């Protein structure tokens, strides 16, 4: 396997999910804390369009596969959301299962090494 850097972006609709919008600063701080502690996560960012209730969370994950990057990012984002006082959908299965990805939309793209 070749180690890759993959930017994963997850979109959350705060009207459909949890109220992330009111926790944006806490969310960013939580992501930065994870970035400092984890060697495989960098470039975390949060972009919010409060008028539409859309919050995009992204991070560059170093992984051996796209699946691993996808799951790692899902776990990082879920941890950050919980740490910021938000709540990941309680009826969702554990991160790691494809069906557990609670974001409305997720995109992944290759980042130049």
Partner 1 sequence: MAAKGPARKERIGVRVEGWFHDHWPAITNYAGTLALALAGVAGFLVADQPSKSSTAFIPWWPWSAATTTAALLAVGAVLVGAGLLGSIAAAKATNRLQADLDTASENLLVHATGIEAVLRAILVRICTDLSMYRDDTRASIYALDGAEFVLLARVSKSPTLKIGGRPTYPSDQGIIGLAWRHGRYSITGLEEERDAWERQAVSEYGIPPEIAATLRMQCRSIVGIRVDGAEPELHPLAIVIFESEAPRGVNGKTIDQILAARAWETLAAAVKNMQAEIEGIARVRGVLRTPSLGASQDRARARS
- For the bound state, the minimum distance from the C-beta of residue 11 to partner 1, rounded and expressed in Å, comes to 8
Of 60, 59, 36, the C-alpha closest to 46 is: 59
**Residue with Cβ nearer partner 1 (34 or 61):** 61
d(CA 23, CA 21): 5
Find the binder of partner 1 among 25, 45, 47, 65 (CB under 8 A).
65
- Contact call for residue 45 and partner 1 (CB under 8 A): no
Find the binder of partner 1 among 25, 45, 67, 97 (CB under 8 A).
67
Find the binder of partner 1 among 6, 44, 57, 59 (CB under 8 A).
6
**Residue with Cβ nearer partner 1 (83 or 100):** 100
- CB of 111 within 8 A of CB of 61? no
- Contact call for residue 70 and partner 1 (CB under 8 A): yes
Specify the 3-state DSSP secondary structure of 18: coil
d(CA 45, CA 31): 8
- Contact call for residue 103 and partner 1 (CB under 8 A): yes
Other Cβ atoms less than 10 A from the Cβ of 6: the count is 20
């Amino acid at each position: 396997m070749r180690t890759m850097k993959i930017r994963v972006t997850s979109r959350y609709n705060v009207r459909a999910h949890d109220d992330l919008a009111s926790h944006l600063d806490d969310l960013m701080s939580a992501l930065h804390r994870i970035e400092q502690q984890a060697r495989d996560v960098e470039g975390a960012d949060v972009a919010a369009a409060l008028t539409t209730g859309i919050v995009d969370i992204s991070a560059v994950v170093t992984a051996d596969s796209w699946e691993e990057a996808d799951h790692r990012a899902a776990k990082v984002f879920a941890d950050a959301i919980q740490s910021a006082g938000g709540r990941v959908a309680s009826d969702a299965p554990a991160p790691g299962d494809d069906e557990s990805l609670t974001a409305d939309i997720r995109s992944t793209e290759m980042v130049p090494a």
